[in-house]
Each structure stands twice: as C-alpha cells, then as structure tokens.
Amino acid sequence: MNQMALPLRLADHAVFESFISVGNEALVAMLGDLASGEATPGCWLWGAAAVGKTHLLQAVCDRAGDRSVYVPLRMLVHAGPGILHGLESRDLICLDDIETVAGDADWEGALFELCNQVSDANRSMIVAATMSPRECPIALPDLQSRLLRLPIFQIHPLGERERVLALQLRARHRGLDLPDDTANYLLSRSRRDMASLYDLLDKLDLEALRAKRRLTIPFVKDVMQQG
C-alpha cells in the first residue's frame, strides 16, 4: 500500500477479521463503514495502552487502501510536522498517538491546518489517543475545538474469555492451533495486556517452527522458562 512519502508498512495481522469486537461493536461497525467509503467526519478513539487502537487504525487503512494513510505520530515525532504536508489529498487520514505531539506549537499549528483542509474537502480523519480530547493536553484552543467536533469512542478492554479468543484468533492467522488450556496457561503465567500476550505468541510461533512442536503447555512452559 502506498503511504505517501511515509516509509511505513501496515502489520499483516492488523485487519478487522483479527479483531475481537466484544464490547466495542458499535465502534468497529462504524470504522468498517468509514473504511468502505461512508462519508463522515471521522472520530476520536481512545483507551488505555494495548487495547487495540493501533490495530483498528491499521485495519481501517488495510480496507480503505490507497484512499487512506496511517500516521504513527509517536514514531514520527522527531521528523517534524512537515510530514503532514500533502496528507489532505487522502480521503481518510488516521493519526495515532496524538498526545505525543500535544503542547508542541509547531505540531499543533500543522495539525490545525490539516484539520481545516480535511474539513473543507469533506474528507475524514480518525484520531487515536490514550485519553479523551478534553483530557488531551492540547494548547491551541482552535485545534482542541476542531477535534472536539469529532464523535468520541472509548475502546473497552477485553474480558478474560475474550482475551483467550483474541489469542486464538491471532494464532489462527499465523497458522497455529492454540488450545484452550494452553491459552489459559499463557494468561496465568505472563503479563495480561494484549500487546505482551501477542509478543509472547510471536515468540512461541518462532520456537514452535524451529522445534516442529505444537503449542502444548509443556512446550510453552519450556520456552517461557528459557526466556
């Protein structure tokens, strides 16, 4: 997918089909419609770390294709606000981790200009943060006012059973079988946020491929002890 001049690749697993939407059904449905071409201003989505904000932004861009662009501000903050120039030509702009540049006058000025260009062209913008727009430390009142016009959605974390389902879904996308007992073992023996669980699953996938083993509890236990 062409991402303007930004040297970025979307994660292969970050698609709607690999996202467990339990508790966030309305948000996922809205984002799916938006990615498919529905004309809306976009939205502000927020939630704690590792609840799926980046996954959903990239899923939108995966479905929207070259009409969209994904901009991870945390990764690009040192490149300066000039990276935003020209993005208004896309129908759908996804800005991740906007709180990273909040309070920086140059970034806020560039973001305000981009918001105006997007609005004037009747395009869409999705903004993701770890907090609501009112809590985000944006110093430029006009920018905050502009962003407050977007519909606001909070991403709710998955429950215990849904975490198991999410791990199993990710495993299937990698061609792995993750039995219930093994998935529950992972939840009870590792950090419980989904980013850490997915990282562990990636490691287990690599080790299982090397050892030509299935993801049984004894195998997982050995790998975790070695790590």
Average pLDDT, the chain: 92
CA-based Rg of the chain, rounded to a whole angstrom? 19
Neighbours of 41 (CB within 10 A): 16
pLDDT, position 201: 92
Say if residue 1's pLDDT is above 70.
no
pLDDT in tens, 69-85: 999 999 999 999 999 99
- CA–CA gap between residue 118 and residue 105 (Å, rounded): 20
The strand ranges marked E within 10-67 are 42-46
Structure tokens given for 175:
């061609």
Burial 128-148 (b: 16+ CB within 10 A, else e): bbbbebeebebebeebbebbe
| Greater model confidence, 12 or 222 | 222
pLDDT, position 108: 98
Q: What is the CATH topology of the domain spanning 160-226?
A: Helicase, Ruva Protein; domain 3 (1.10.8)
Say if residue 7's pLDDT is above 70.
no
Q: Count the helices and strands in the chain (H runs, E runs).
A: 9, 5
For residue 29, list its beta bridge partners.
none
pLDDT, position 164: 93
For residue 111, list its beta bridge partners.
none
Is there a contact between 97 and 128 (Cβ–Cβ < 8 Å)? yes
pLDDT, position 222: 93
**Mean pLDDT, range 3-17, rounded to an integer:** 70
CATH code at 16-154 = 3.40.50.300
Say if residue 4's pLDDT is above 50.
no
**Mean pLDDT, range 141-149, rounded to an integer:** 96
pLDDT in tens, 29-66: 999 999 999 888 999 999 999 899 999 999 999 999 99
Terminal-residue alpha carbon distance, the chain: 35
Give residue limits of the domains in the chain. Answer: 16-154, 160-226
pLDDT, position 70: 96
**Predicted TM-score (pTM) of this structure:** 0.87
